Amino acid sequence: MHVFSRVDEPYVPAPPAPRWAVRAAHAAALVTLPTGVWRLLLAAGFPAGYTATGYAAMDATGRGAVYLVALSVVSEVLALLTLGLVRPWGEVVPSRVPGWGGRVVAPRLVTAVAGCGAVVLTLLWTPFVAWWALPHPDLTDTGAVVVGLLYLPLTAWGPLLGAVTVAYHRRHRASPSPNSATRSAC
């Protein structure tokens, strides 16, 4: 299976993404922001809802701060990749990317990776709905509510990614183009 192929013939893009899919992709990119900002506050030294004992136990300084910042950045980058399912750079790597620029992205691979990501995210975050039923001794009462509200949008990340992935798959499966041989060979 080839991940990329050179655009040797005129590339005909898939039909544009439906408006709902574009909106869902943007929403998927935004649902990680509240938790990312919260983690950055923790890394900057703000207890952000934790009790003094809970914050100290979490060790949000040094390596803990690096972990919190890295987790926030990686989460947002992964969420932003959802936009590739509704944008041209999800079909052809932009020419400004060294080594890969101008290559066609294999739609089957994109669909498989995004589909697996949607399943993993759904399985990972759906149990978070039960947050309200669990005790949180390291958080203040207000902090538990705020953290719950900040993490709750993540339960939508997997389903949003799944819906956008289905739209991507349908657009690429349904588009008979001159480069369909490249697409079906992937």
DSSP string, the chain: --SEEE--S---PPPPPPHHHHHHHHHHHHTTHHHHHHHHHHHTT--TTB-HHHHHHHT-STHHHHHHHHHHHHHHHHHHGGGGGTSGGGTB--TTSTTTTTEEE-HHHHHHHHHHHHHHHHHHHGGGGGGGGS--TTB-HHHHHHHHHHHGGGGGHHHHHHHHHHHHHHHHHH---TTHHHHHH-
| 186 residues of the chain, pLDDT tens digit each | 455 554 455 567 789 999 999 999 999 999 999 999 999 999 998 888 888 888 888 877 788 899 999 999 999 999 999 999 999 888 888 888 888 888 888 899 999 999 999 999 999 999 988 887 888 889 998 988 988 999 999 999 999 999 999 999 999 886 554 444 444 433
Kindly report, residue by residue over 75-97, the tens digit of the pLDDT: 999 999 999 999 988 888 888 88
Kindly report, residue by residue over 157-186, the tens digit of the pLDDT: 999 999 999 999 999 886 554 444 444 433
